[in-house]
A and B are shown apart, each in its own frame.
Chain A
Amino acid sequence: MTRASRIPNLGGAKAYILHRPHTTVNALARQLGAIGLDVRECWPELPPDALAADFVFFDVDLGFDEQFPWKPGEAPMPLVALIGSEAPGRIEWALSQKADAQLLKPIGTAGVYSALLIARQSFDARRRLADQIAALETRLAERQTIVRAVAALAAQGVDDGRAYAQLRSLAMSWQVSVEQAARRIVAMSEEGDDHSNIA
């Protein structure tokens, strides 16, 4: 069951702040602590255990790609950009990291909680979308397999329409996707030209 609202569960979440020691970091750490997060500060790079972080806040003013143990744009957790100078080059770099939310310096009390919720939601949405696209791409790549499976079934003497319907009903009875069923049929037809075991 899905519900529109949930008490956001941020208690004990781990947040890393990648920023040189500064009052900005103190204010941000104070607010994250008040919200209930476990805060680690680091500079100039993220330690290995940051891979298990729930959130990473990173400095846009002095940041660079090599600070992160992942490729630009491939962070495995929500990122929040800490923006001071709004120079176009710096914004462009922050965008290349695919920050999910932003906070403008100087950072005070306001904005931190909403940044957490927005970052988490947009990260989750982005990841869901990426998973969907990957699944669709996989299915797309199997188009040729489906054509070959339909051809193999049609070789038993039915027309293309019937062969495709047969493929679908086989997928259903094997409880696999049409693409997986097609791969099986192609493999069987390649083992020998005997198709009698399919139906």
Chain B
Amino acid sequence: MKRSIQIGVLYSRSGTYSLISDACRQGVFRAVADVNANAASPIELVPVERDPQGNIDRYAPLCEEMIREHGVRHVIGCITSWSRKEVIPVLEKSGATLWYACPYEGFEANEHVVYMHACPNQHLVPLLAYVIPRFGANGLLLGSNYIWGWETNRVARDLIADAGGSVLAERYLPIGETDVSRLIAEIKATRPDFILNNLIGTSSYAFIAAYAELGRHDPHFRLDRCPLLSCNLTECELPAIGNTAKGNLCAGPYFASPTGNGRTPAKADLPQPASSFEAAAYASVRVLAKVLAGNADATFADLPSVFAKATFQTPFGDTVIDPQTQHATLPVVIGQIGNDCFETVSRTDSVAPDPYLSRYDRAEIFGRPRLKVVS
């Protein structure tokens, strides 16, 4: 007789970033189905779902409701860092755990959160280390006006300075804003070497399309000359962007590459998710299921001792989770958007998480600073 365990699912099914939510939900439900189909598993997962509908103020109450009404101790959910920070006080009060399947800006290591997607040393740092030697060090930084953009651009400012470059402008749009004409005008005026795009959802789609248009008129802004960089753009948003995204450079732990180049070898019982969001959500449930199979009553307090000993099979490959920071060790892949998929341009396996960038070393990433000629 299997033991039924309810788990919470907290994704917005509408709103500006619903494509990412859909990808994560797909990963969650696919993993639940796979776990439940396994006759040998001592547990059966029963998802309890709530939909905040993209409304930031609904996350904490709905999370609390699942915990109170269903006794849920583990919740898979949240896309934006803003929503994650909203639910953390609820998790702390109730002893629950959030399994977070999105890249984020780092500088957090909450014992009530398991971070299953990339932090800055697994996305931004390697992405700029790849781009700056090839395209130049002068960047223009964009973001949606909340913590992901602010903090990612803040780290980018430091990295660009360490590489000897300049930040030509740093601009923010409200979440959901699609008027990007001023951004395009400023880009035209400043002529950067690259643009770091931390806009999310519809703002990002509008910007990518407008930038492609700019590149058609001025060859300096073609993506092979002045690329758009992203730390969170994946296959799941390509349908909303269409072929204007071709050439974007993106960092992530995984891309579903049909060419097989740089692809994580498939395990017999693991699917090949369509994006890293789906992969991370799928991985979250599979890791959680393994924890619960060992101890069906496991809470946040039991996780570090399990993480210290276990390796988990996930779509990222064999995955370990740092018991101290509860961040996953992940591959770092830099992909370039091709015709209808990402082509791998660089891949590093098993990059340990460093959420506070406490091991960041400028010389290791950008080499020794070059001496400037003083006349």
In the complex, how many angstroms separate the beta carbon of B356 from the nearest chain A beta carbon?
5
B109, A10: Cβ atoms closer than 8 Å: no
CA distance A37 to B109 in the complex (A): 13
Chain A hits for B154, CB < 8 A: 5
Partner of A35, one of B88, B110, B155, B356: B356
Measured CB to CB, the nearest residue on chain B to A31 is B109
Alpha-carbon distance A176/B272, docked complex (angstroms):
72
The closest CB in chain A to the CB of B356 belongs to A35
B296 contacts the other chain (CB 8 A): no
- Report the separation of the CA atoms of residues A190 and B111 in the bound assembly, to the nearest whole angstrom: 72
A109 near B109 (CB under 8 angstroms)?
A: yes
Distance in angstroms from A113 CB to nearest chain B CB is: 7
A113 and B324 form a contact (CB under 8 A): no
**Would A11 and B158 count as touching, CB distance under 8 A?**
no
Alpha-carbon gap, A190 to B109, bound state (A): 67
Considering the chains assembled together, what is the distance between the CA atoms of A11 and B111 in angstroms?
20
Which of A1-55 touch B at CB < 8 Å? 3, 5-12, 30-31, 33-37
- Which stretch of B218-226, B286-294, B357-365 is in the interface? B357-365
The contact of B158 among A6, A30, A37, A110, by CB within 8 Å, is A6
A6-B158, A35-B109 known; A108-B92 Cβ under 8 A: yes
A12: B residues at CB distance < 8 A? 358
Instruction: Determine whether the beta carbon of B109 is less than 8 Å from that of A7.
Output: no
At the interface, yes or no: B112 with Cβ under 8 Å from chain A? yes
CB nearest neighbor in B for A37: B358
Number of interface residues of B (CB under 8 A): 21
Q: Mark B61-104, 1 if CB is under 8 A from A, else 0.
A: 00000000000000000000000000010001000000000000
Complex Cα gap A10–B358 (Å): 6
A33 CA to B356 CA, complexed, in Å? 11
8 Å CB contacts to A: which residues of B107-148? 107, 109-112
Chain A interface helix/strand/loop/mixed: loop
**What chain B residues lie within 8 Å of A9 (beta carbons)?**
358, 360
Q: How far is the CB of A62 from chain B (nearest CB, A)?
A: 26
Query: In the complex, A162 Cα to B161 Cα: how many Å?
Result: 49
Indicate if the CB atoms of A109 and B112 lie closer than 8 Å: yes
Q: Which of A11, A109, A110 is within 8 Å of B358, CB to CB?
A: A11
Q: Is the CB of A35 within 8 A of B92?
A: no
* Cβ-defined contact, B111 with A30, below 8 A: yes
In the bound assembly, the distance between CA atoms of A12 and B107 in angstroms comes to 16
Check: B343 CB closer than 8 A to any chain A CB.
no
Task: Decide: A34 and B325 in contact? CB cutoff 8 A.
Answer: yes
User: Bound state CA distance, A11 and B352, in angstroms?
Assistant: 15
A109 closest partner in B (C-beta): B110
In the complex formed, the residue of A with least CB distance to B161 is: A3
- With both chains docked as a complex, state the minimum distance between the C-beta of A194 and any C-beta of chain B, in angstroms: 45
B58 at the interface (CB under 8 A from A): no
Assuming the contacts A11-B359, A35-B358, asked whether A30 and B92 have C-beta atoms less than 8 A apart, the reply is no
Kindly identify, within residues 160 to 201 of chain B, every residue whose CB is under 8 Å from any CB belonging to chain A. Answer: 161
Chain A residues within 8 Å of B, Cβ to Cβ: 3, 5-12, 30-31, 33-37, 108-110, 113
What 13 additional pairs, Cβ within 8 angstroms, besides A36-B354, A36-B359? A5-B157, A7-B158, A9-B360, A11-B356, A11-B358, A11-B359, A12-B358, A30-B111, A34-B325, A34-B356, A109-B109, A109-B111, A113-B107
Interchain Cβ contacts under 8 Å between A and B, 7 examples: A6-B158, A10-B358, A35-B356, A36-B358, A37-B358, A109-B109, A113-B107
